[in-house]
Amino acid sequence: MYPQDSLPLCPDILVLATQPSVTHEFYQFTQHQQDQLQEQLAFQMHCQWYREAAASVQQDLVRMQHDINILGWFYRNRPSRRSRPQVTDNLSRCGVPHRV
């Protein structure tokens, strides 16, 4: 089956490779590991995007706080700040500092 020069170092691998249940379990294990790695990488990419988006929004907020509140002139009887919903679970999962 193999030329003499390319034989694996461990002959037990050939014995295990001939057993279908062992090779199927090994395939399932490696497939599961690859799936977990892909999910972890996708989550890390999402967290990186979320951090960048949060930083951009915070910069926009700082810039907007220095703008003139033209709508405030028209709506003087209403409170100037509306209550914001508390969104902390996605921020804390991705390691973004949250200001309240």
pLDDT value of position 48? 97
Share of the chain above pLDDT 70, in %: 56
- Highest averaged pLDDT of the listed ranges 22-26, 45-49, 58-62, 89-93: 45-49
As a whole number of angstroms, the distance between CA 78 and CA 72 comes to 8
Q: Say whether pLDDT at 6 is over 90.
A: no
**pLDDT band, residue 77 (cuts 50/70/90):** low
- Could you tell me the pTM of the whole model? 0.47
The token duo for 82 is 């509306």
Q: Region 63-70: what's the mean pLDDT?
A: 84
As a whole number of angstroms, the distance between CA 36 and CA 39 comes to 5
As a whole number of angstroms, the distance between CA 18 and CA 24 comes to 11
